Structure 1
Amino acid sequence: MAVKTHDPKEYGDPLVYDPDFHGPLKYRSCTDVLCLLLFLVFIGCWTGIGLYAFLKGNPNVLLVPKDSQGARCGLDSHVLDKPYLFFFDLTKCLQPIPFTGCKTNQVCVRKCPDRAFLYDAATTDINSLICEAGVNPSRYDAQRLVSEGKCAKWYLSSEPVQKRCLPNIFTPHELSRLKNAGENVTGEILDNAKAAISSYVNWEEVGENIVNDIMYSWKHILVGLVLSLVVCIIYIVLMRWIAGVMVWISIVGVLAVMSFGVYFCVKKYQYYKANPVYHQSSVWYETILEKTGTWLAFTIVLSIILLIIFLLLIFLRKRIVLSIALIKEASRAVGAVTASLFFPIFPWAIQVCVIAYAISVALYLSSVGTSEFVVQNLDGNCVCTGNAKDYHTNSPCDPNIFATSCFNVIDRKPCTYARCQFVKMDSSNVITYLHIFNVFGFFWALFFVSGLADMILASTFATWYWTFRKKDVPFFTVTQSMLRTLRFHLGTIAFGSLIIAICTMIRVMLEYIDSKLKKYENPFTKAVLCCCKCFFWCLEKFIKFINRNAYIMCAIHGKNFCFSAKDAFNLLMRNIIRVFVLDKVTDFLLFLSKILVTAGVTSVAYVVFVTDYVHIVDQSSLNYNYAPVIIIGISAFFVTLVFFSVFTMAVDTLFLCFLEDSERNDGSPDKPYFMSKNLMQILGKKNK
């Protein structure tokens, strides 16, 4: 059976010589206007949703602690001056109720107690009593209120932890007093109770500590970002003159960094295997890093990545020379239009604003609605009468009615364990739809800004390529490209970004469905969802590839999205071998350059913040030494993405221009090639 071979003519005839074509068209018409109008209407609606959320919502209600009556400490009118949550009997917090504390009375207080207290009817000052909301004890009824559980019988000196009052240091003398008074309280019980409450605020505390570390070391982090910026600029400038050397430095550097990482992980694994650590560190990440399994996993992952990169370089060694020529061509283009190097900072700043806006809208929307309370832990010892007679566990309730109508059967005191607790904000289904709209708006706006930057850069580099005498490239090329794109092609960008946003939204919905169905453990459902997620992931990558090339063709020829995508796809398919030989290998080499720059800056940060080789930073003032290192590393990678995105766009644009140049021209005096002499020499072409 004969195997069908690839026939370039299946994807249209090669482009023919056009004496009037000299690069991006100056006279063109607006494209995809309807999609632009749709995008503007969408942005208007998204803005309206944001205004509604900001006016109706208050994200603080989701974060502040709440007392037993559902009052939000520091926010609700009657506890506006009481921002801290106090627990009557901390020993009952060993089995806490999520997000609401534990099975004991909780009240909002102005400040956490700064001394130990044990009720004594003969000597206690009633001003030392901490009681439920609305209870004002006097010396005549203090003992009754304490016995009924409406006032705390004892407490220890505390400090606020995420606005919850938790004992800081308890002395043997204080515990002895409680024990002598008949209170079954030990240091171990209090430690466990503190841990039970802290487990729900631990990550908030971690976040707060990280923020404190950032505030303390923000100047050093800023220096790290500036260092990343300088290294990127130096790297790109050097690429202009010694592209081949810099590419090989990137290859060798990445291999060296990965090899050292494997060696470092092996040494750590051997050390902790020989010296196992049995104690639990007070710092959560140190506990993880002290396990042999952690370093074994790091060793395996790094070894696999190193092996993959090494094998790719072996198989692509003959293609690297061609890719270096294309990278050098891109370096010349970036060097000739210096403004293009710094242009991505502006769309990057806009994308940051889009992310901040979407997150803010999501937080405010989550707080829109009314508070929902349900009955918790209602047992036979607690009965409800009057308006609360129909209450049962998990039924909706009113805190005020519960407080007046529910009591213990034996002593008719307030219920010991049963509570009417706040559980969530009750909002209509409309809020859910607004959340979906916000997520979709986030994707569409983000991809729109990215597409706008791509088309402006594509127009810039296409202008450079199709200028036969490179010294005649206009000085304000970036500005002209920006004005041309904003005037004629916002609709095309809206169309392309809409397609990607829809595909991404489908993937997000599949992930959500998968998370909801995990509890059923159905192999068939898992397989179907896995196939769907894989399909849409591949589809999203393909669409992004088509979009990028469609933007380039639109920037050059001024056609709408569909025609531009068709022309780009046909051009690439007619030269499919060159696509894999040049374009994809070049992307891989630029990726190695990003990794090298990021690894270099992160290594410097590691030496400064973690090791003792330099003493620039007072490491004792940091909660987590690795926090600034990780932030600098992530920031450095994004800085490289911003700057190297110019290179990536230059490579993709010049590659398409090169393919079109090869089809339109043949090197004769009437139809000369526009490509550089170096590129013509590498590809065996020349102008006659």
Structure 2
Amino acid sequence: MMARQVPEAEENLGHKIQYDPIFDGPLKRRSCTDVICLLFFLVFIVGWAAIGFWAVKEGDPSTLLTPSDSSGLRCGLDPLVEHKPFLFFFDLTKCIDPSVPFLGCPTTQVCVETCPSTTFYTGQNETAAIPYCTYKQRATNQYNSTYCPTWFLPSEQFFKRCIYNVADRKRLKIASIIEGDEISRLKEYLDPVHLFVHNALSLFRVKNDSNLHKVADQVIADIMSSWWKILLGVGLALVACIIYILMLRWVAGFMVWLSIGGVLAALSAASYFSYVAWQKWKKDYETNGDVNRLKTKRDLFLGIFIIVVAFLAIILLILIFLRKRIVLAIALIKEGSKAVGSVTSVLFFPIVPWLMQIAVVAYAICVGVFLATTGEPLYQYRQINPECRAATGWTVETACNPNNFTITDPTCVNATCKFAKIANEAYYPYLQAINVFGFFWLAFFVSALGQMVLAQVFAQWYWTMKKRHLPFFALTSAFYRTIRYHLGTLAFGSLIIAICRMIRLCLEYLDRKLKKYDNEITKAIMCCLKCFFWCLENFLKFINKNAYIMCAIHGKNFCGSAKDAFMLLMRNIVRVFVLDKVTDFLFFLSKLLVTVGIGAVAYLFFATNMISFMDNSQLNYGEVPVIIIMIVTYLIASLFFSVYSMAVDTLFLCFLEDSERNNGKDKPYYMSRNLMKIFGKRNKQHEGPKIE
């Protein structure tokens, strides 16, 4: 009798998991996994901490934040100005040029002991101007616009710079300060809101459009005037997300169908109202002529209408083609909601890795700033004319010393010795690269820690036949087991992702360097490389997540867990794509429903007159706080639903293993009756596990 031949595809994907009579869920007695990688990780952390300690000891961030005057002296640090910590500008209206963030403000600047808090100088009281004149004025005793300011206003120090006090804008009514139209110009441009918008748009190389600047000014002003209302809306969004999550525990199926119907209804209503609003503002714009505000409203609602209709069409197509799989996906979501409801503390567990992520980001930024300031300050000559260069040999690359800087040649009367940069050591780029890599590695490590802890909780819930026997401190014990046994596995998985991210970062750096050559072949190659490594990183994240789940169940090392998870998924590839990913889509709809619902309520309060007690007369665009609240709501909902997503992924992998390991006869299934009913399985000699 010939032996049955195993298909090559089945053999390549590994053998199905065999029944183990002593298997009763996640391994209790474990051993440490990937110890070598853990040791390497600890050595790296110690080295990164040593780099941070050295950077704090040798660096000085004040060299980056301390302003320098027109002579190149750093206020409060360098000789002659060590007791003058504030920078004073002769003419602040010169600081509105788009090149200011890169080249500096083109007006005379001097270090002063205090900013002019009460003095209101108009060029008629020379004594009042003396503390704010240059050092050359004291030597020549000349009071003119070259050495002294012709006007200045009461100011306040902002990051050690004397900036006009916006609260005293009414003083600009005195027309004798500046002649002609400069009054309105100063009134507009000394507003910090406008300065922020102007420099931000310049920084991102946005076209210098006056209409765009005006709209941006109004948007920032709306945010500043309604910030407390926005915070209140965010608080209500948090409450709504918690209520929605709690309702999923009891009526998961109803809530999912409600999400589907609610999103379709909301998008349909949004498309209708945005179309009506677009027609209204379009008519007003055509009637009243070229009014900037009407044009912005018309274009805004046209864009909203197009985006909403596109979303509605995509969601409808997905629902039509996947309608038969939604029922199966809802069954998984129900199981996930039961698991989350059994250990409610997991809903708030993401706060722990979130706080750890903040600590990692803060440390990496601090180390980066301190590293950037290690080394000696480098001073170089500036304002060197050709005659001075020919007579002295000075160039803008020549180093100088401000302590003994003197001018003996009359052709160099305008030359200065200015602070140029911090002269870092040759090994500085390598230390900064280690800092960036450490940030990526530790950030991905913290994310992996959260995933494995949740995976252990949900896997233990699934493999517990009687749910009332689930330990009360399931989350705490899962956290302990992860810390005690599997930090090496987390370090291994996060190292792979960190290396991939560093490669992507290097590609972005090379792309910026190669742009000046404008080579189409180079652009195509770089585009392909960036696309490939982006896909690779997302694939590795998918593998890592499932490897952590298998490690949480069986306690194997990273490579063994990744192999088992990959083979198990490949043997059930159809279920993976038509079931697991459908649940992600349904979660997206739930997040979208919460976001759109909160956005609709916020729109009633901010952008309509239907709520009489809400005064929004000061807002230029009522949609601005609505959009901000919707964005924050979506982020909050994503934080909560990340727990549900991990629950579904864990239970799905456990379900696949349960289907292979057991047969429902002498080896009963662990899955619930609901799952057995949907997937056509049943325990013939044993009742399915009762969810209690």
User: What's the TM-score, normalizing by structure 2?
Assistant: 0.83
Contact 2:194/2:217, CA 8 A, preserved across alignment: no
Distance in 1 (alpha carbons) for counterparts of 2:60 and 2:122: 39
Quote the residue 1:492 is aligned against. Answer: 489
Question: 1:37-436 to 2 correspondence within 5 Å?
Answer: 37-73=39-75, 78-79=80-81, 82-88=84-90, 98-99=101-102, 101-109=104-112, 110-112=114-116, 114=118, 117=121, 119=123, 124-134=125-135, 137=138, 142=141, 145-147=142-144, 149-152=146-149, 154-157=150-153, 159-160=155-156, 162=158, 163-165=161-163, 170=172, 173-174=175-176, 187=183, 202-203=198-199, 223-276=232-285, 290=296, 292-380=298-386, 383=388, 389-393=392-396, 395-399=398-402, 404-405=407-408, 409=411, 414-415=413-414, 419-436=416-433
CA RMSD of aligned residues (A): 3.9
CA deviation after TM superposition for structure 1 residue 528, in Å? 0.6
The Cα offsets for residues 508-567 of structure 1, whole Å up to 9 and x where unpaired, read as: 221222223223322111111111111111111111111011111111111100010000
Deviation of the 1:106 alpha carbon? 1.2
Which letter does structure 1 place at the counterpart of 2:637?
A: T
Deviation track 1:578-612 (CA, whole Å, cap 9, x = no partner) reads 11121111111112212222333344455555655
Q: Secondary structure at the match of 1:343?
A: coil
CA contact (8 A) 2:75 2:86 kept: yes
Counterpart CA distance in 2 for 1:198 and 1:72 is 27
Deviates more, 1:306-315 or 1:222-231: 222-231
Task: Tell which deviates more after alignment, 637-646 or 477-486.
Answer: 637-646
Q: Deviations over 1:102-161 (max 9, x none)?
A: 4442112321375554556xxx443433555545749xx53xx23593333x11435458
Q: State the AA in 2 paired with 1:369.
A: G
- Residue 477 of structure 1 is matched in structure 2 by 474
> 1:515 maps to what in 2?
512
Q: Is the aligned partner of 1:12 residue 2:14? A: yes
1 CA distance for matches of 2:339 and 2:325? 22
1:571 aligns with 2:576: no
CA–CA separation in structure 2 for the residues paired with 1:330 and 1:275: 51
1:360-400 deviations in Å (ceiling 9; x for gaps) = 222333333333444445335x63698xx222345544456
What displacement does 1:427 show?
1.8
Of 591, 595, 598, the match for 1:598: 595
Could you report, residue by residue, the CA deviation over 1:53-81 in whole angstroms, capped at 9, with x for unpaired residues? 33333434334432112233455565456
Question: In 1, are the aligned partners of 2:223 and 2:625 still within 8 Å (CA)?
Answer: yes
2:546 maps to 1:546: no
Contact 1:30 1:488 in 2 (8 A): yes
The answer on whether the counterparts of 1:17 and 1:664 sit within 8 Å (CA) in structure 2 is yes
Taking the TM superposition and a 5 Å limit, the aligned residue runs for 1:574-653 are 574-608=571-605, 613-614=610-611, 632-653=629-650
State the distance in 1 between where 2:221 and 2:369 align.
Answer: 22
Moved more, 257-266 or 246-255: 257-266
8 Å Cα contact 2:230/2:629 also seen in 1: yes
Shift of 1:637: 2.9
Quick one: structure 1 residues 359 and 423, their matched pair in 2 at CA, closer, same or farther if it must change by over 3 Å? same
Report the Cα distance in structure 1 between the residues aligned to 2:678 and 2:108, rounded to whole angstroms: 80
> For the Cα contact (< 8 Å) 1:504–1:540, is it kept in 2?
yes
> Which residue identity lines up with residue 388 of structure 2 in the other structure?
V
Question: Aligned partners of 2:628, 2:362: CA distance in 1, in Å?
Answer: 18
Shift of 1:353: 1.6
CA distance in 2, matches of 1:268, 1:395: 63
Q: CA deviation at 1:6?
A: 9.6
Structure 1 residue 445 and structure 2 residue 445: aligned? no
Counterpart CA distance in 1 for 2:101 and 2:193 is 9
Q: CA 1:212 to 1:291, structure 2 compared with 1: closer, same or farther past 3 Å? A: closer
Distance in 2, Cα, partners of 1:431 & 1:395? 22
Aligned partner of residue 174 in structure 1, secondary structure: coil
Deviates more, 1:418-427 or 1:86-95: 86-95
Identify the match of residue 681 of structure 1 among 677, 683, 690: 677
Which amino acid counterpart does residue 642 of structure 1 have in structure 2? L
Cα separation, 1, equivalents of 2:629 and 2:83: 39
Contact 1:265 1:295 in 2 (8 A): yes
Equivalent pair of 2:27/2:555 in contact (CA under 8 Å): yes
With structure 1 as the length reference, what TM-score do the two structures score? 0.84
Contact 2:96 2:195 in 1 (8 A): no
Aligned to 2:33: 31
For 2:55 and 2:623, how far apart are their aligned partners in 1? 36
SS at the partner of 2:251?
helix
Contact between 2:134 and 2:148, CA under 8 Å: does it hold in 1?
Answer: no
Higher deviation after alignment, 233-242 or 261-270: 261-270
| SS of equivalent residue, structure 1 residue 155 | coil
Q: Secondary structure at the match of 1:650?
A: helix
- Identify unmatched segments of 5+ residues in structure 1: 180-184
Q: Which piece of structure 1 moves more, 529-538 or 515-524?
A: 515-524
Identity %: 50
Q: Is residue 659 from structure 1 mapped to residue 619 from structure 2 by the alignment?
A: no
Change (3 A) 1:433 1:606: farther
Task: Tell me if structure 1 keeps the 8 A contact 2:543–2:566.
Answer: yes
Contact 1:94 1:192 in 2 (8 A): no
Partner amino acid, structure 2, of 1:126? T
1:98–1:200: 8 Å Cα contact kept in structure 2? no
Tell me, what secondary structure is at the counterpart of 1:512? helix
Q: 1:129 to 1:471 in 2, by over 3 A?
A: same
Q: Distance in 2 between matches of 1:328 and 1:10?
A: 34
- Alpha-carbon distance, 1:225 to partner: 4.7
Distance 1:118 1:21, change over 3 A: closer
Greater displacement, 260-269 / 622-631: 622-631
The 1:640–1:118 alpha-carbon spacing in structure 2 relative to 1, beyond 3 Å, is: closer
| Cα distance change of structure 1 residues 483 and 103 upon mapping to structure 2, 3 Å threshold | closer
Q: How far is 1:647 from its partner?
A: 0.8
Instruction: Decide whether the 8 Å contact of 2:69 with 2:110 is kept in 1.
Output: yes
Q: Which amino acid aligns with 2:669?
A: Y
Equivalent residue number for residue 182 of structure 1: none
Q: Which secondary structure does the structure 1 equivalent of 2:393 belong to? A: coil
